[in-house]
């Protein structure tokens, strides 16, 4: 799983928009209705539109036990039992994606922050028949929720994960504020874990937030050195935690509605939206290690390569729909397996 991101400065205003996409899902006739995992979201203004990408993806399969991350020096690949870290579990797999271009005017214009989350629902009753058939009935019941990457997986305690997945972001401040304000992950990394208002800006409420007032976000291609399809100039998979930071050559955008890090400077990727190519795991750990309580005087600490997965196996596209071109399933296997196609 390759991820990355950036910090969304400022608290979320009350006019945040979630209604536009909240009701999306597959046919109600199916036994499981996914309202999609929103794993790529950014502001890409073209004729006053915002681009949203919805993608199926596997969850992080291994998280450290208490103390293991700190004792390993911060590298998840060194944690006992985490042999899958450092190996891209999604490599050579094709994921189903749905990409939408939505006119800005349909969501209230571009002078705002937009917030998006997704839920998973299934029928409330399942009857197991002797012949092996499963009969689903009853109303759809929410069983999962996805907002920012890693909040439920790495911040929310095991005892509260089911509660998180059953509730909406409207109750996040009441129920889950403490997991951002005083995260266990910060204590494991031996950094300040008290009143982390910088993490609360990102995770409470747990919505992917994007400043729609900026210009287009920089997009990932096949990497900075590729001749045919390079990353856009100044794109960084680490966002503001990249080597150029907040400088004019850093991966930053200019907001007209937020002060940000000063003079409207805001990050160019997650958690100011989320782009293909954002290394969300490295950036999430960077957020914890850094001190961004005072956005006018931030302290950045980059956790570059914490999961040992620093690139995608296929190049992303810099034109709509931006996702990587799918592999041909007729003649391509997975992880060295032979394809299932026959002559």
- pLDDT in the model for residue 93: 76
Backbone angles phi, psi at 4, to 5 degrees: -175, -175
Beta-carbon neighbour count of residue 238 at 10 Å? 25
Q: Please answer whether residues 64 and 80 qualify as being in contact, where contact means their C-beta atoms are separated by less than 8 angstroms.
A: no
- pLDDT in the model for residue 2: 30
Query: CA torsion, points 16, 18, 19, 25, in degrees to nearest 10?
Result: 170
Q: What is the DSSP string of 89-134?
A: TTTT----EEEEEEEGGGGT-SSSEEEE-EEEEEEEEEEE-TTS-E
Q: How far is CA 81 from CA 68, 76, 78, 157, in A?
A: 10, 10, 9, 20
- Give the pLDDT confidence of 41-81 residue by residue, as tens digits: 333 333 345 555 544 443 333 333 333 333 333 334 334 44
Cis peptide before 271 (omega within 30 of 0): yes
Which DSSP helix (H) or strand (E) runs through 7? none
CA dist 255 and 258 (Å) reads 6
**CA within 13 Å, CB half, 331:** 1
Map out the domains of the chain as residue ranges. 19-289
- Give the pLDDT confidence of 128-185 residue by residue, as tens digits: 889 888 899 999 999 999 999 999 999 999 999 999 999 999 999 999 999 999 999 9
Q: pTM of the predicted model, to two decimals?
A: 0.74
Question: What's the N-to-C CA distance of the chain in angstroms?
Answer: 33
Label the pairing between strands 118-128 and 32-34.
Answer: antiparallel
- pLDDT in the model for residue 335: 56
- Two tokens at 210? 């994007």
The residues of the chain scoring below 70 in pLDDT are: 1-87, 332-343
- pLDDT in the model for residue 52: 52
- pLDDT in the model for residue 185: 92
- pLDDT in the model for residue 91: 75
Reduced DSSP (H G I as helix, E B as strand, rest coil) percent helix, strand, coil of the chain, to 5: 20, 20, 60
């Amino acid at each position: 799983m390759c991820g990355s991101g950036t910090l969304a400065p400022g608290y979320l205003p009350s006019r945040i928009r979630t209604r536009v996409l909240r009701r999306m899902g597959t046919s109600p006739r199916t036994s499981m209705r996914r309202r999609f995992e929103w794993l790529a979201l950014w502001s890409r203004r073209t004729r006053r539109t915002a681009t949203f990408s919805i993608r199926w993806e596997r969850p992080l399969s291994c998280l450290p036990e208490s103390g293991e991350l700190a004792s390993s020096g911060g590298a998840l690949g060194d944690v006992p039992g985490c042999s899958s870290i450092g190996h891209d579990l999604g490599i050579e797999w094709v994921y189903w994606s749905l990409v939408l271009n939505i006119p800005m005017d349909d969501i209230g214009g571009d002078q705002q922050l937009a917030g998006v989350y997704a839920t998973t629902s299934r029928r409330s009753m399942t009857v197991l028949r002797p012949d092996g058939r499963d009969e689903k009935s009853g109303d759809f019941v929410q069983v999962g929720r996805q907002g920012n990457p890693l909040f439920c997986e790495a911040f929310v305690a095991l005892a509260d994960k089911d509660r998180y997945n059953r509730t909406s972001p409207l109750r996040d401040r009441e129920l889950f504020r403490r997991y951002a304000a005083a995260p266990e992950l910060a204590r494991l990394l031996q950094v300040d874990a008290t009143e982390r208002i910088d993490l609360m800006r990102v995770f409470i409420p747990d919505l992917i937030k994007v400043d729609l007032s900026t210009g287009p976000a920089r997009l990932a291609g096949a990497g900075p050195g590729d001749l045919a399809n390079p990353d856009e100039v100044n794109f960084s998979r680490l966002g503001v935690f990249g080597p150029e930071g907040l400088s004019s050559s850093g991966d930053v955008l200019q907001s007209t509605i937020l002060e940000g890090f000063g003079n409207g400077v805001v990050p160019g990727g997650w958690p100011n939206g989320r782009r293909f190519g954002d290394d969300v795991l490295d950036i999430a750990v960077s957020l914890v290690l850094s001190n961004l309580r005072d956005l006018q005087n931030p302290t950045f600490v980059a956790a570059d390569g914490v999961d040992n997965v620093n690139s995608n196996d296929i190049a992303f596209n810099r034109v709509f729909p931006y996702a990587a071109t799918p592999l041909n399933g007729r003649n391509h296997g997975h992880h060295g397996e032979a394809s299932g196609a026959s002559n």
